[in-house]
C-alpha cells in the first residue's frame, strides 16, 4: 500500500460531470490499494467571478477580505467532490486548508507555507478515508485565513506530499504533460517524457504555466517525484525527477515565453555604494519582482540602470521609485511596455558552448531585435517586442530541433 497525493485544477473540476470524472480517477487509485489525498482548485472560473464581484464593490478591496472571499471557491469544490465519492460508495472527508493543518506566513494574497500539521490527515487515512483538501489556502499563527497566490493549489499538493512522505504526487490538468513549448501557439510542440527539477523550475519561472515555481521548489527540496497528467485523457504524462532518463541528447529541452513585460530604465544614478541596494530593497519590500537587470556607467561617472518587471506591477514600481528619488538622487525614469520574454532551457547547455550565440543568430536572421539578455547555466532569456514573440518561439523551436522529438507513447 502506498500514499498518493493527487491535485486537480479548476478546469478538471469545472462542472458536476467533471467532478464525477475526478472522483473516478481518485477511486482508480484507491482501488489499487493506495491511500489517497486529493487537492483541488476552485471550479472553472469561480475565482475570476469572485474577483469580479469584489471589484464591483471596491477598486481596491482589503487583502484580508479578499482572502476570506476567494477561499470559498475551493470550499465549494471539496464539498462536492467528497459528496461524489461518498455517493459512489467510498468514505471521504473534506478539509479546508487550515483544517488540514497548513500554516502560512502572515501575508494576505501571496503567503508561503511554513509548516503542515499532518496529524488530522493521517488519522483519516488510517481509518480508510479518502481526504479531500482545499488548495490555495492556509492560516497564519494569529488565526487569519491566507491564500497562497497564483499556482497555490500546486504548491499545496506538493507540500502535503512532502509532509506526508507520499510515494508520488500527480498533478492533473487540462494538458497531457509538459511540452517543449506551449502547443496552443506552436503546433509542432512535443510532449516530453521527463524533465529535471532544475529544468522545470526554470521553465516555470520563465512563464510555462503547467506548474508553479514554488511547487517545483518543494518537489526538488524533498525529492518528491511529480507527474503532470491529463485529467480528461488516460495517457502517459511527464515525469519530473532529479535525473532525466529520456531524450538525453537534447541540449535545449524547452522554450518558455510570456508577454506583459515592461522595461524600466533609471537614468543618472550616482555611482556610489548602496545605490542598487536601496532601489531593489524598496521594490522587494513592496512585493515587486524584478527580473533581468542591466547597468551601464557613463564617462561622467553616472549610471543608467534597466530592469524588467511584469507590466501589471509598473504603476506600483513607479510609485516606489518616486518615493526614493530624493534619497537615491537619480535624474529620471523611463518605461517601455509591449515587451515579451522568450527563453530557452536545457541542462545540456552546461557542456555545450555556443548555445546562446546560436539563439542570437536565429533571432537576428528573423529580424528580431533583442532588448535585454539574461543567462544562467541552463537557460538564456531575451526580452523582445511582444509582437514578435510567437515568431521568435517558432524559429527557435525549429532551430533547436524540438519539433523532431518522437511522440510519447500513450
CB 352 within 8 A of CB 327: no
Provide the pLDDT for residue 213: 87
| pLDDT for the residue numbered 42 | 96
pLDDT for residue 206 is more than 90: no
The 3-class SS string of 319-354 reads HHHHHHHHHHCCCEEEEEEEEEEEEEECHHHHHCCC
Q: Return the C-alpha torsion angle 140, 116, 215, 123, nearest 10.
A: -130
Mean pLDDT value across residues 235-256: 80
- Is a pLDDT exceeding 60 seen at residue 310? yes
Residues 340-359, mean pLDDT to the nearest whole number: 91
Give the pLDDT confidence of 171-202 residue by residue, as tens digits.
998 888 999 999 999 999 999 988 999 999 99
> What is the rounded distance in angstroms from the CA atom of residue 72 to the CA atom of residue 60?
20
Instruction: State the average pLDDT for the chain.
Output: 93
Please compute the mean of the pLDDT values over residues 373-382 and round it to a whole number: 93
Q: How far apart are the C-alpha atoms of 306 and 297, rounded to whole Å? A: 12
Q: Rounded distance, CA 364 to CA 360, Å?
A: 6
- Residue 348 — pLDDT band, cuts 50, 70, 90? confident
pTM score: 0.82
Residue 86 has pLDDT above 70, yes or no: yes
User: Where do the domains of the chain lie, and which CATH numbers do they carry?
Assistant: 3-174 (3.40.1160.10), 255-404 (3.30.2130.10)
Task: State percent of the chain over pLDDT 90.
Answer: 81
If DSSP codes are grouped into helix, strand and coil, which group holds residue 253?
coil
For the beta carbon of residue 270, count every other beta carbon within 10 angstroms: 13
Q: Predicted confidence band at 409 (pLDDT cuts at 50, 70, 90)?
A: very low
| Model pLDDT, residue 410 | 42
Beta-carbon contacts of 315 under 8 Å, excluding residues fewer than 6 positions away, are none
- What's the whole-number mean pLDDT along residues 370-397? 95
* Cell output for 75: 470550499
Q: How far apart (Å, rounded) are the C-alpha atoms in residues 159 and 117?
A: 11
Asked which of 48-57, 205-214, 357-366 is least confident by mean pLDDT, the reply is 205-214
- Look at residue 300 in the predicted model and tell me its pLDDT: 74
Q: With 80 as the cut, is the pLDDT of residue 400 above it?
A: yes
Residue 248 has pLDDT above 60, yes or no: no
**pLDDT exceeding 70 applies to what percent of the chain?**
97
User: Contact, 28 vs 150, CB < 8 A?
Assistant: no
Return the pLDDT at 244. Answer: 65
Sign of the torsion formed by the C-alpha atoms of 31, 37, 41 and 43: positive
Q: What is the pLDDT of residues 219-241, one digit of tens each?
A: 999 999 999 999 888 888 999 98
Residue 339 and residue 20: Cα distance in Å, rounded? 42
Q: What pLDDT digit, counting tens, does each position of 93-128 carry?
A: 999 999 999 999 999 999 999 999 999 999 999 999
Confidence of residue 249 (pLDDT cuts 50, 70, 90): low
* pLDDT band at residue 242 using 50, 70 and 90 as cut-offs: confident
Residue 217 DSSP label: H
Amino acid at each position: 500500500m502506498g500514499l498518493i497525493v493527487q491535485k486537480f485544477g479548476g478546469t478538471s473540476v469545472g462542472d458536476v460531470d467533471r467532478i464525477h470524472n475526478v472522483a473516478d480517477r481518485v477511486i482508480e487509485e484507491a482501488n489499487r490499494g493506495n491511500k489517497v489525498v486529493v487537492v483541488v482548485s476552485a471550479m472553472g472560473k469561480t475565482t475570476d467571478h469572485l474577483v469580479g464581484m469584489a471589484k464591483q464593490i471596491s477598486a481596491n478591496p482589503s487583502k484580508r477580505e479578499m482572502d476570506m472571499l476567494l477561499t470559498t471557491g475551493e470550499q465549494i469544490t471539496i464539498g462536492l467532490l467528497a459528496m461524489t465519492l461518498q455517493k459512489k460508495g467510498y468514505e471521504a472527508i473534506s478539509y479546508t486548508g487550515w483544517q488540514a493543518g497548513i500554516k502560512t506566513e502572515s501575508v494576505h494574497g501571496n503567503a508561503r507555507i511554513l509548516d503542515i500539521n499532518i496529524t488530522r490527515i493521517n488519522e483519516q487515512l488510517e481509518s480508510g478515508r479518502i481526504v479531500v483538501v482545499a488548495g490555495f489556502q492556509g492560516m497564519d499563527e494569529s488565526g487569519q485565513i491566507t491564500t497562497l497566490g497564483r499556482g497555490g493549489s500546486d504548491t499545496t499538493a506538493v507540500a502535503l506530499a512532502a509532509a506526508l512522505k507520499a510515494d508520488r504526487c500527480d498533478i492533473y490538468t487540462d494538458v497531457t504533460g509538459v511540452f517543449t513549448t506551449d502547443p496552443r501557439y506552436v503546433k509542432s510542440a512535443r510532449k516530453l517524457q521527463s524533465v529535471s527539477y532544475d529544468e522545470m523550475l526554470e521553465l516555470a519561472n520563465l512563464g510555462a504555466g503547467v506548474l508553479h515555481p514554488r511547487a517545483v521548489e518543494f518537489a526538488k527540496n524533498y525529492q518528491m517525484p511529480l507527474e503532470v497528467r491529463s485529467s480528461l485523457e488516460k495517457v502517459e504524462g511527464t515525469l519530473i525527477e532529479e535525473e532525466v532518463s529520456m531524450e538525453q541528447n537534447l541540449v535545449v529541452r524547452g522554450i518558455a515565453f510570456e508577454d506583459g513585460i515592461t522595461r524600466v530604465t533609471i537614468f543618472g544614478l550616482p555611482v556610489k555604494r548602496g545605490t542598487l541596494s536601496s532601489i531593489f530593497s524598496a521594490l522587494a519590500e513592496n512585493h515587486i519582482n524584478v527580473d533581468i537587470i542591466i547597468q551601464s556607467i557613463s564617462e561622467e561617472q553616472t549610471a543608467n540602470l534597466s530592469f524588467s518587471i511584469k507590466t501589471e506591477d509598473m504603476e506600483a514600481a513607479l510609485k516606489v521609485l518616486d518615493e526614493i528619488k530624493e534619497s537615491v538622487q537619480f535624474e529620471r525614469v523611463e518605461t517601455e511596455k509591449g515587451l515579451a520574454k522568450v527563453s530557452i532551457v536545457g541542462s545540456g547547455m552546461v557542456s555545450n558552448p555556443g548555445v546562446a550565440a546560436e539563439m542570437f543568430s536565429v533571432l537576428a536572421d528573423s529580424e528580431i531585435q533583442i532588448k535585454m539578455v539574461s543567462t544562467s547555466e541552463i537557460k538564456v532569456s531575451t526580452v523582445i517586442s511582444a509582437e514578435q514573440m510567437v515568431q521568435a518561439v517558432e524559429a527557435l523551436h525549429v532551430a533547436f530541433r524540438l519539433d523532431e522529438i518522437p511522440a510519447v507513447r500513450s
